[in-house]
């Protein structure tokens, strides 16, 4: 999934949020909802989707237990999210995504795999972070293949920029980690620069990190690797 094509017509306005005076990192796409995704939204949404509100989220209430919480931003169709949540039943996961078919797809996976440690929020992650995630509360943050906005004039829409990273650090628990991955070299360079310059963070590697074993290779990534494209992982911890 990619937002490489500049939006035309009404979608263009979706990039700017007039209420927040902020440029958005995503374009709202209609996208086709499959019958199975629609069913998952209707049947599993009430149990596993958390509604966006401007109030701090009570994790213990949301999950019915106390465990380290990992937040994933922009999970796409959610295959990686479901894979990792299944691998780590001792941790709780919150996936944030704006795209409805993706939310339906992940709810379907939650149902199929019986993932009681995963919840979904369909909303702009910047607002979710600002309004729902308590400071110092996240054991980990995953952001995999964020939209590269590869044209120079669109670079300002990239999620990974200094003020956003500062917000992430504010939400992380001491010792918590931030794991990013991208297949866009120029964005990888920007990520490394921004994260290295953030004084609240410490790199776990010399530059880019080896791919952690828990992050599965996606179909799209595999295809890219076969075509000779690179993939860069970055893992930083909060000081
Ligand atoms: C290129 S896709 C990658 C999806 C997935 N992580 C993967 O690796 O396949 C980026 C996703 O981030 C989502 N996204 C972008 N900005 C977002 C935001 N501010 N809040 C929530 N989701 C966002 C988009 O809707 C899109 O699904």
Can you say which residues are annotated as belonging to the binding site for S-adenosyl-L-methionine? 72, 97, 124, 147
Averaged pLDDT, 40-68: 98
More confident residue, 16 or 75: 75
pLDDT band at 10 (very low <50, low <70, confident <90, very high): very low
For residues 58-95, one letter each, b for 16 or more C-beta atoms within 10 angstroms of the residue's C-beta and e for the rest, the string is ebeeebeeebbbbbbbbbbbbbbbbbbbbebeebbbbb
CA–CA distance, 38 with 185 (Å, rounded to integer): 36
For residues 102-129, one letter each, b for 16 or more C-beta atoms within 10 angstroms of the residue's C-beta and e for the rest, the string is bbbbbbbbbbeeebebbbbbbbbbbbbb
Instruction: Give percent of the chain above pLDDT 70.
Output: 91
Give me the pLDDT at residue 221, please.
85
pLDDT band at 3 (very low <50, low <70, confident <90, very high): very low
pLDDT band at 31 (very low <50, low <70, confident <90, very high): confident
CA–CA distance, 119 with 62 (Å, rounded to integer): 8
User: Apex CA 216: angle with CA 141 and CA 148, to 5°?
Assistant: 60
Where does ligand 1 bind, in terms of residues with CB under 6 Å? 1-2, 25-26, 73-76, 80, 96-99, 102, 124-126, 144-147, 159, 218
Summarised one tens digit per residue, pLDDT across range 67-96 is 999 999 999 999 999 999 999 999 999 999
Q: Which of 4, 26, 83, 160 to mutate to test the pocket of ligand 1 (most atoms within 8 A of CB)?
A: 26
pLDDT band at 5 (very low <50, low <70, confident <90, very high): very low
pLDDT over 50 at 8, yes or no: no
Alpha-carbon torsion, ordered 185, 187, 189, 194, to 10 deg: -170
Considering only the C-alpha atoms of the chain, give the largest distance between any 2 of them, rounded to a whole number of Å. Answer: 47
Whole-angstrom Cα Rg for the chain: 17
Give me the pLDDT at residue 106, please.
98
Q: Kindly report the backbone phi and psi dihedral angles of residue 201, in degrees, each rounded to the nearest multiple of 5, phi listed first.
A: -115, 155
121 DSSP β-pair partners? 96
Give me the pLDDT at residue 82, please.
98
Give me the pLDDT at residue 22, please.
73
Q: Delineate the domains of the chain, giving CATH numbers in brackets.
A: 34-51+65-238 (3.40.50.150)
Give me the pLDDT at residue 14, please.
56
Report residue 204 CA to chain centroid gap: 20
Give me the pLDDT at residue 218, please.
81
CB burial class (10 A; 0-12, 13-18, 19+) of residue 55?
exposed
pTM, full prediction? 0.92
pLDDT over 90 at 219, yes or no: no
Summarised one tens digit per residue, pLDDT across range 144-175 is 999 999 888 888 999 999 999 999 999 999 99
Ligand 1 atom closest to the Cα of residue 148 is 1
Sequence-distant (≥ 6) Cβ neighbours of residue 213 within 8 angstroms: none
Q: Kindly report the backbone phi and psi dihedral angles of residue 24, in degrees, each rounded to the nearest multiple of 5, phi listed first.
A: -85, 160
């Amino acid at each position: 999934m990619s937002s490489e094509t500049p939006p035309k017509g009404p979608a263009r306005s979706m990039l700017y949020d007039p209420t927040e005076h902020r440029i958005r990192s995503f374009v709202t796409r209609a996208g086709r909802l499959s019958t199975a995704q629609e069913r998952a939204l209707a049947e599993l949404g009430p149990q596993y989707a958390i509604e966006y509100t401007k109030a701090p989220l009570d994790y213990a209430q949301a999950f019915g237990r106390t465990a380290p919480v990992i937040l994933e931003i922009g999970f796409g169709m959610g295959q990686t999210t479901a894979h990792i949540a299944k691998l780590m039943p001792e941790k709780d996961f919150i996936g944030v995504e704006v795209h409805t078919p993706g939310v339906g797809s992940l709810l379907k996976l939650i149902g199929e795999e019986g993932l009681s440690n995963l919840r979904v929020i369909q909303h702009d992650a910047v607002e979710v972070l600002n309004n729902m995630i308590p400071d110092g509360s996240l054991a980990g943050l995953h952001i995999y293949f964020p939209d590269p906005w590869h044209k120079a004039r669109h670079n300002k829409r990239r999620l990974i920029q200094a003020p956003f990273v500062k917000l992430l650090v504010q939400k992380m628990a001491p010792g918590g980690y931030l794991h990013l991955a991208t297949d866009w070299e120029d964005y990888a360079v920007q990520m490394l620069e921004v994260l290295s310059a953030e004084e609240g963070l410490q790199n776990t590697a010399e530059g880019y990190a080896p791919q952690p074993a828990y992050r599965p290779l996606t179909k799209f990534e595999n295809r890219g690797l076969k075509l000779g494209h690179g993939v860069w992982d970055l893992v930083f911890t909060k000081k």
